Structure 1
């Protein structure tokens, strides 16, 4: 497995990534752009916020190479070698979610132009938030011939964030670790924050600390508002008819709900859809067996899920 270091530009940012083209196959090969999930997640799927490697995107690159596909994955802005590029931390507030979509658009161009790549067979595989970017890319780009949406963000961002925080508050109240009154105050503040983001793209600076810790801070307001404005189901409904699409979700995924991905599938009914449903796989595609995922298992030394890999490979072979 040999990666070639590659650099390309999007706006003022130089993005650093890894290109892999199978050398054992003669002639141009199909190719996949791999898109990472949210936060400072690098080309391998490793997050600066977690204490160890995860490797989800590197694993996908391995599977793709084994099945005759080239791939490109890169350190998005804020991660890996790319870092913040020319920006200071204070500049981040001026950058919206479109920054990440623009970078992915450039990456498609770079991948399609590589020697040994069949420019007529370019696909995009997005993990978690990366699936939303994949859906956005496919709206107007005829070069993209198929999508895989892995453990995807399947509802509007702020709706998902609200559901996650509500569930966390329910849990700590039930455990008698937080008074009901405080939980209700946090829910009220959260509702106000969502309304403010959707009305004018701003956030008050005095939100309660638990909400600020969840990323609801003024520096993130523009990106949050722009991302929330992208409704995955509306984007899915506009994908070209007949396009090969794979969705995957697991009962062990603590970040994505099966019912939300089912609803996304309903919006994709006009595509050539493959729905992969799993029972032992966590959010980062590792096999947790009969155990419950807690998030700590993301960096645990666990095998990648065969139930995912087998389904993914079957989809690749159908293309």
Structure 2
């Protein structure tokens, strides 16, 4: 139903009410309907009769009902405390009145229970059966743990998303900064080539920051730094490199004349006896001669 239809229905209802009031003679000038005053009925006898109908005459232990007034404060008078509407308007006083009334009721009820020999305290070894079974509580606990883990996962995922966003933002800022610096450097180089600039500013900034370019070393000046792993293996197993041409003279050994060169040894004639008791070692016979000697022995 639209707003126009609802307003039309309300106007029709008000018109019918006015027509009824006009017919009954209750319509006053100005289209005002006179409303009869409401009658408040306080039939005490009828209310007591109804109370006796549904009232159950049971013992107090079955009903446990008490009607008490608030306990008096130390040194106070109940009649003077309840004068006027100050208690109803003041929240603190009203709550204190409720508290003192409950206190008086509890004290009276405990005294009545003790007279009836009913214990009001549980023994120390009292075992109360739970309203829910262990299986049900186990399911509840598992559900709570599952919900807690789901919340932790969602929080962790949220933090990771935030970190990724922050990382991407930082990366974009760094890339933009590099591109800006590169563009500025290229523009400065172009202007320097065209003669619009005398000096390049980024070179001066590098020199001021101490970032000087290292001079290149010549090929002969470079020192070979041995690998530690290779040194350890060489110490353990020996040098396993090239074996041939190992006795070739080097530039250092060829130029050194102090250790290997001796005039006395080099001036001796070849074939000359070395001493008095020197005996020439006989040469080995040839193959044919050795064969003949072998046949003779047989």
User: Do they fold alike, i.e. is TM over 0.5?
Assistant: no
More strand by share: 1
After TM superposition, the score normalised by the length of structure 2 is 0.17
More helix by share: 2
Q: Which has the higher contact order (CA 8 A, sep 6+)?
A: 1
Quick check: which has more Rg, 1 or 2? 2
